[in-house]
Amino acid sequence: MLIRTKGGIEYEKLLHFGEKNNNALDIFCAAALAFSPILQYYRGIFQNAGITVLVLLTPWVVIRLANKWRSKGISFIHFDVIAGLLLFLIYRALIHEVNIKNIVFNAALLVLYFAAFYGCINIRQFLITSSAIASAACVLVFVQTVSYYLFHHHIQLSPTSLFSKDASAWIMLSKTGLIGVTQQLGNLYRPSAFFMEPSHMFLYTFPHLMLMVLSPNINKYRAWMGVLFSLGIILCTSGMGIVITAGVWALYFSMSSGRQNKLKLKNIFKPNNAFFIVLFLVFGIALVFTVPFVRESIKRFVDTSNSGAIDGRIRLSNNLLKSLVGTKLLFGVTSSTAGISFNMPGFSATLYKFGIIGVVLAYWIYLYGVLKLKNAFFWISLTVVAVSFFSAQTHGTFYMIYYVFFILEGRNHLPGNKKQPFPMAQIIKQNCEV
């Protein structure tokens, strides 16, 4: 179905899985998975609240998958999209410390990804819920920032009494906005709404920023939502987030074709685009030199000391990876980074734990997104790969689920796939004419 914007531009709705799985349990399942990257840091019945969600949802996912199998059968067409990911879960369960708990956990994830691939999980509801979460976080970060700088009062939004043991390092940051995971008082206020820290909020929000700004046929609603997501990421002071946000808008201003928003390199030479990119660069440079928290955030991001957001993690990780030779380099050395005193980036952690074989299998679906997907979904996939060299979260259980769902959504945008409504269609209709 096509809808026409107020300006007369036809806007083809983006796609979603599972158009018929809209009962209450399906919607709850999708919404719970959207919350899981946040819930993983809270106490739960099984290890933490995120794991608890997976355990409780697995029976329902199995039932949905079994019904799919019984009614329509299971086709293995395009199965190569997730084949590497499923092989990675099997490999991860059996390569090092083999135990029942590890096997069951990876089997549950395998079923989840398998079910999502075949449309047994309502990805549309997942994206609607996660967009609402990201939007709320951006609004709340703005409120926290205003409260702190105008009234010198930090608004605590995370219930620290419910944090899991693994999340204890973030208690003081949640309470003060100033004391980081090193438990040292900083001079930079770092609000993050109900996320543990600013980088977590950025990692959750940037896919929605890209969907709004870098998808075809942009309209006023999506442009303003892009501004909201950008403001939230900048105010939360994630240096990585500020750099990525600047990159998103640089792409838009330099390569967009106008309302149709088809990003092409040749559009850089259009007079309007050239003017806007120069204006954007001037504004960005002025922002860095005149707004202290922007300058400090970027400085922290590129700091070359061990405490820097990039260089410190990479240097320490590389020192550890130098010990990998022979079979250790091929297969890795452990299933866990427990005992390592710093956060290893996703790429380094995967290589250290599971070797080159593990890296190839774990990056399979991300590289599929880079090589095959179009528009915003290509940029989301590319950003995940790039960020994985700096952040520990991209290959963690719940953020990996989060990003894989976006890639599976993007797969339905490819030519020849069934066209279904854009995940934010309910809201976009407010700004469109049928």
Average pLDDT value over all residues in the chain: 81
Residue 318, pLDDT > 60, answer yes
Q: Indicate whether 148 belongs to any domain.
A: yes
Instruction: Report phi then psi at 3, rounded to 5.
Output: -125, 155
Q: Indicate whether 1 belongs to any domain.
A: no
At 399 the pLDDT is 95
**Percent of the chain clearing pLDDT 90 (strictly above):** 42
Structural domain of 260: 133-302
Cβ-based neighbour number of residue 111 at 10 Å: 19
Once rounded to an integer, what is the mean pLDDT over residues 79-97? 89
- The domain total for the chain is 1
Q: Indicate whether 90 belongs to any domain.
A: no
Q: Indicate whether 335 belongs to any domain.
A: no
Q: Indicate whether 386 belongs to any domain.
A: no
Q: Are 344 and 313 in contact (CB under 8 A)?
A: yes
Q: Indicate whether 426 belongs to any domain.
A: no
DSSP state of 179: B
Q: Indicate whether 17 belongs to any domain.
A: no
Q: Nearest Cα to 101, choosing from 111, 92, 114?
A: 92
pLDDT in tens, 24-62: 888 889 999 999 999 999 999 988 999 999 999 999 889
| Structure-model confidence comparison of residues 386 and 425, the more confident one | 386
At 66 the pLDDT is 85
Distance CA 42, CA 46 (A): 11
Buried b or exposed e, range 385-419, using 16+ CB within 10 angstroms: bbbbebbbbbbbbbbbbbbbbbbbbbbbbeeeeee
Classify the phi-psi angles of 332: left when phi > 0, otherwise alpha if psi is within -120 to 50, otherwise beta. Answer: left
Once rounded to an integer, what is the mean pLDDT over residues 99-117? 91
At 158 the pLDDT is 93
Q: Nearest Cα to 119, choosing from 14, 1, 21, 12?
A: 21
Q: Indicate whether 223 belongs to any domain.
A: yes
Instruction: Report phi then psi at 99, rounded to 5.
Output: -150, 165
- Residue whose entry in the numeric block shows the structure tokens 């309209």: 219
